[in-house]
Amino acid sequence: MQFRDLKRQYNILKEPINKAVTEVMSSGAFIMGNKVEELEQSLAEYVGVKHCVSCANGTDSLYLALRALNIGEDDIVFVPDFTFFATAEAVSRVGAQPVFVDVDPNTFNISPEKLEEEISLWEETGDGCQDLKAIITVDLFGQPADYIKIQEIAKRHGLVVIEDAAQGFGSRIGEQKACSFGTIGCTSFFPAKPLGCYGDGGALFTNDDSLANTCRSLRQHGKGASKYSNEKIGLNSRLDAIQAAILQVKLSVFDQEIVAVNHIAELYSKLLDDSLITIPLVQEGFHSSWAQYTIILPDEINREDLQTKLQEKEIPTQIYYPTPLHLLPVYHKYATWYKCPNSLSLSQHVLSLPIHPYMTEEEIYFVAETINNIIRTNG
């Protein structure tokens, strides 16, 4: 069994994907161009925002968003403590300071209450030189962050919301889709993400014309009206036409995949013995795109042993994430500032199970029953 079986999806979409890739190869246009513009239009429509600006990867999309919003040195950006490193890395890369906020132990996402506390603390005790600028919310494991509360907090404190939907593309709250909740939404098309290409890719989403134009300029060396009238220091962060063509094919079945993956998650939640482990909680009215299906183990269960026993049955598992951001070596100078007990505890107790839209019911039964058996006999 594979953790995320991308070959199964390819086998089903082989014909249209091969055709789309061959078309690009015969066209001789490999970077940007029509295919990329068409994809940007399709993605903007899908998300329900005015602009989509594609780029080379999800990490760059966060960097470009921060640059477009003029966030840099002496600025402070609030980020959840429990996420992939890239969320904070982008903040550090523009020279701003990430401030780590504890997460909700049930949803894994940034806690609105802890966010409010952390903002107040910085407003009261900050050194006055630093500007509180933005919040990067993460739609971790596919579930949107609590935007109803977060947007209210952001507004009250004059902060901008940047949505890191690298794992949440395709998710929604009610009918509103991920990537539309912030002033800028960012996503990744890394192969294992909900909508993945066959290499690196990413995109930004916004309703703001001027921000979209700035992102378009920055992703192409800060170009001005023409390619050779550079106005800003940007970077080379463009999407390949082949990736755009592949994404266009995958987008045509994406909603079906989201339905399928939700069915799988429901089945897991029904089958797993929740008297021994904690199954993931999706907030009322929220719809996850299930980038990961992550359970929380109690202290009595040794995570490493469980992983080994599952691997013996060829069931791969992953730990997302083993270290809270504030304890990463690169952020050692902040390590003593923070108390993020939920994030720390999650890092020690989470386990992500295989999930993807093309898993069979037999496979889900097998994984769930194997886990139940191991934890019931070992206690």
Ligand X SMILES: *Cc1c(COP(=O)(O)O)cnc(C)c1O
Question: What residues make contact with ligand X under the rule CB under 6 A?
Answer: 57-59, 83-84, 86-87, 138, 164, 166-167, 188, 190, 200, 202
Quick one: 84 or 198, whose CB is closer to ligand X? 84
- Minimum CB separation of residue 298 from ligand X in Å reads 26
- Minimum CB separation of residue 285 from ligand X in Å reads 22
Rg of the chain in Å (alpha carbons): 21
Task: Please choose, from the candidates 278, 281, 205, 195, the residue with its C-alpha nearest in 3D space to the C-alpha of residue 244.
Answer: 195
Quick one: 61 or 248, whose CB is closer to ligand X? 61
Task: Please choose, from the candidates 250, 358, 263, the residue with its C-alpha nearest in 3D space to the C-alpha of residue 1.
Answer: 358
User: Which two three-digit tokens encode residue 152?
Assistant: 């209210």
- Minimum CB separation of residue 102 from ligand X in Å reads 17
- Minimum CB separation of residue 166 from ligand X in Å reads 3
Burial of 220 (0-12, 13-18, 19+ CB in 10 A): middle
Quick one: 102 or 363, whose CB is closer to ligand X? 102
CA angle 16, 22, 27 (to 5 degrees): 125
Quick one: 60 or 363, whose CB is closer to ligand X? 60
Quick one: 84 or 338, whose CB is closer to ligand X? 84
- Minimum CB separation of residue 156 from ligand X in Å reads 26
CA distances from 201 to 96, 138, 182, 213, 290 (A): 24, 18, 20, 19, 19
Quick one: 205 or 375, whose CB is closer to ligand X? 205
- Minimum CB separation of residue 143 from ligand X in Å reads 12
Chain position whose Cβ is nearest to ligand X: 58
Quick one: 104 or 200, whose CB is closer to ligand X? 200
- Minimum CB separation of residue 85 from ligand X in Å reads 8
Tell me which DSSP letter residue 318 carries: B
CA distances from 318 to 29, 123, 308, 310, 362 (A): 38, 38, 11, 11, 21
Other CB atoms within a 10 A radius of the CB of residue 329 amount to 7
User: Which two three-digit tokens encode residue 278?
Assistant: 């904690």
Q: What's the gap between Cα 167 and its chain centre?
A: 3
Quick one: 32 or 276, whose CB is closer to ligand X? 32
The answer to whether 156 and 131 have CB atoms below 8 angstroms apart is: no
Kindly give, in sequence order, each residue whose CB lies less than 8 Å from that of residue 71, ignoring residues fewer than 6 positions away. 77, 91, 94, 96, 133, 134
- Minimum CB separation of residue 154 from ligand X in Å reads 19
- Minimum CB separation of residue 202 from ligand X in Å reads 5
Quick one: 57 or 294, whose CB is closer to ligand X? 57
Q: How far apart are the first and last CA of the chain?
A: 26
The answer to whether 378 and 301 have CB atoms below 8 angstroms apart is: yes
**Buried (b) or exposed (e) across 355-373, using 16+ Cβ within 10 A?**
bbbbbeeebbeebbebbee
